[in-house]
Amino acid sequence: MESAIDNLPFMLDLGWSEVFADQMGADDEGYRPYRIAEVHRARLSVISDTGLLRLTLPPRANTAEYAVGDWVLVTPDTLLLHRRLDRKTVLQRHVEGQHMQQLAAANVDTLFIVTSCNADFNPARLERYLVMANEAGTTPVLVLTKADTVSDAETYARQAAGLQRDLPVVTLNARSDEAATALAPWCLKGQTVALVGSSGVGKSTLVNTLAGAGQSPQQTGGIREQDAKGRHTTTARSLHAMSGGGWIIDTPGMRNLHVGDVAYGIDTLFAEITELAPLCKFSDCSHAHEPGCAVRAAVASGALDEERVARWRKLLEENVSNTPVQTGPRGNRTLQRKNR
């Protein structure tokens, strides 16, 4: 099917790989792959070597089923959307009271979880972002902005590094060129990065810095509107080129990040606790009061932080109550898997 692709170098820069090429069969002859750059309620745009192109949607198409970063097959002359290719990774969040997860971005290699060296730094919220990255199969990197405004950036960095085993932590000034150098390993050709973090931590500033000299995609391409509290928030989800050769997706604000159907993401985040639980005396230990609890013993010895254990239990409980369950054969409750 490679013959249908006449601009392969551009596509490879954009993250096209065998994972997607292998999905194109004889039935797909004549269609051309494009990557989604913008998702709006009634419109999808893809990126091409000549700029953004608006797709023609088939009747009853639901744009909520598509994410920025998705690869889709399109009829070249009419730009009619044919089908979406299976995703490598998908960042999504549970929405209270809804069955479908809300899609944030697809086929993302690295998630920059952005917070700043000030009161925005909140372990419980950062852990929720980490769960989302782990569950998606996306590598998380913790980016601490505004390091230039404090004298104790190291204290924040140390706390951040304790959030998850082997978590890369980068402290920087998002407005400086050194920020691009510090983040360069994740921004190379063919790589896709997404950004999450609260309003005001410096996400737009970082996108502009990573886009390189003279480029300010966030001011030109971003749509800004006011939220209920009158703050300006970035609402466009869009794909921007980085000077390092990769692409970056600025996701819309995600306040109230609830978890659901993310058991794997939680186990990875709290690996040091997850590994202790099987050593408890009771297999259904709640790690609250039972004798012989390995988790409580680790807290008592000072090896584990009490507050982190409390956050772990809270996320587990929330996840159980938000995870759809089916009654399987002989009454076994089995997890209903998400569609990728």
Ligand X SMILES: Nc1nc2c(ncn2[C@@H]2O[C@H](COP(=O)(O)OP(=O)(O)OP(=O)(O)O)[C@@H](O)[C@H]2O)c(=O)[nH]1
Nearest-CA neighbor of 37 among 249, 223, 222?
A: 249
Which entry of Zn ion, ligand X, none binds 285, CB below 5 to 8 A by partner kind? Zn ion
Residue 203 found at the interface with ligand X (CB under 6 A) = yes
146 appears as a binding residue in the annotation: yes
Which positions from 163 to 192 touch ligand X by CB under 6 A, shown as an x/- string?
Answer: ----------xxx-----------------
Q: Is 22 left (phi over 0), alpha (psi -120 to 50) or beta?
A: alpha
Left if phi > 0, otherwise alpha if psi is -120 to 50, otherwise beta: which for 238? beta
- Which one-letter amino acid corresponds to residue 297? A
Pairing of strands 102-106, 110-116: unpaired
> Of these partners, ligand X, Zn ion, none, which one is at the site of residue 253 (CB under 5 to 8 Å by kind)?
ligand X
| Half-sphere exposure at residue 199, Cβ-oriented, CA atoms within 13 angstroms | 16
- What are the two backbone dihedrals, phi and then psi, of residue 232, each rounded to the nearest 5 degrees? -85, 125
Q: Decide the pairing of beta strands 110-116 and 224-226.
A: unpaired
Q: Which is nearer to ligand X, 232 or 340 (CB)?
A: 232
Output the smallest distance, CB 102 to ligand X, in A: 17
- Confirm whether residue 75 is marked as ligand binding: no
Q: Say if residue 283 carries a ligand binding annotation.
A: no
Contacts with ligand X, 205-224, as mask; x by CB under 6 A: x-------------------
Closest by Cα among 297, 260, 258 to 277: 297
Minimum CB distance to Zn ion smaller for 240 or for 287: 287
Alpha carbon of residue 176 to chain centroid: 24
| Residue 201 is a binding residue for ligand X (CB under 6 A) | yes
285 is in an annotated binding site: yes
Consult the annotation and say whether 189 binds a ligand: no
Q: Which is nearer to Zn ion, 203 or 287 (CB)?
A: 287
In the region spanning residues 241 to 300, those forming contacts with ligand X, defined by CB under 6 A, are 253
Identify what 233 binds: ligand X, Zn ion, none; CB under 5 to 8 Å per kind.
ligand X
User: What is the C-alpha separation between 73 and 196, in angstroms, rounded?
Assistant: 28
Q: Which of 138, 171, 234, 251 binds ligand X (CB under 6 A)?
A: 234
Q: Pick what 49 binds: ligand X, Zn ion, none; C-beta below 5 to 8 Å, kind-dependent.
A: none
* Residue 125 in contact with ligand X, rule: CB under 6 A: no
Mark the segment that binds ligand X (CB under 6 A) among 49-57, 73-81, 146-154, 282-290.
146-154
Residue with tokens 């004298």: 151
148 is in an annotated binding site: yes
3-state DSSP assignment of residue 195 = strand
Separation between Cα atoms, residue 339 and residue 105, nearest integer Å: 15
**Cα–Cα distance measured from residue 196 to residue 110, given in angstroms and rounded to the nearest whole number:** 11
Residues of this chain that bind ligand X (CB under 6 A): 145-146, 148-149, 173-175, 197, 199-205, 232-234, 253
As annotated, the binding site for GTP includes: 145-148, 197-205
User: Where is the binding site for Zn(2+), in residues?
Assistant: 280, 285, 287, 293
